[in-house]
Structure 1
């Protein structure tokens, strides 16, 4: 079985490719022209997922290990037993750690979102043959419009992810939600 980071990366690549095809279909429909796939754009968006998903995955793992979303709540019937012993005996349960969850959402939607957006814009610019100067220009022109649009979508997704989705399924959940977002990005950066 492949390591989770590899699975997450391949899932994201397939989802990004599909979203780019849908974005191209929307563009063709709007312009009332037949769909002719732009394989360069398709390859670029697929490559973006292959390049950007591993750092995103590691970011999520680090956030969870730094601010665990669950805490063990034990019954005090045996105060001398460890939490592990209580878990084995069914005397402990996992509860949402609200404070850590709020911290994770805030950090993810500020530092994480900024870093991942700059990484996305840099990667797509490089894949399109851009220079370092082009990267700075792209970030300067596109960062705020995309970041502000993302703040309408990603905070609720992040909150759902950190509260309801098991850690090992968060990348797939995020990638699935990202399907629509990637359509937007394909259209916005076309």
Structure 2
């Protein structure tokens, strides 16, 4: 059974790499949000609108990640696999991560119905902590990813590890909202 699933997955990733990685990222982002809601926040029921937002952001983000990893693969070349991996991590963490985190926080705010000034405050409040947490986890993960994982599997490796990350960012980007998803007066 597992070998059949693995074969179907390999076939899907080979034939439709963007679609497959968009779907897998959406599912794993949604999973992280459900864990945040049920385990971390101890909500009695799942906020499906919020979870749908994470599903949507995950799908679009998965497409973007695949495109980004393809760009890195085509742009950073050389003979030494370790040096190539270190260069990719440097570009990934100094260029992509800061931009992606800002876009992600803004997207969550927009999907929550926040006004531009509320999104700005959300960025000011959440961005520094999320970026610092990013730098504690992702450089090591990406070093392994870029050094040892084939391009078509880099997004899935990151997203499997990212279930805990997704739980953290779901909690972090929703900690100042009321149960119905509206910002409370703490802004």
Give yes or no for TM over 0.5: yes
- Asked if 1:11 is matched to 2:24, the reply is yes
Picking from 147, 153, 156, the partner of 1:163 is 147
- Runs (4+) of structure 1 exceeding 4 A deviation are none
Q: Which has the larger radius of gyration?
A: 1
1:119 paired residue number: 103
Indicate whether 1:48 and 2:53 are aligned.
no
Gaps of 5+ in 1: 72-95
Q: Secondary structure at the match of 1:151?
A: helix
**Offset of residue 133 of structure 1:** 2.4
Q: Paired residue for 1:58, among 67, 73, 78?
A: 67
> RMSD of aligned C-alpha atoms?
1.6
Is 2:118 aligned against 1:134? yes
Task: Tell me the equivalent position of 1:85.
Answer: none
Q: Which residue of 2 aligns with 1:26?
A: 39
Residues matched between the structures, number? 161
Q: Which protein has the bigger helix share?
A: 2
Higher strand share: 1
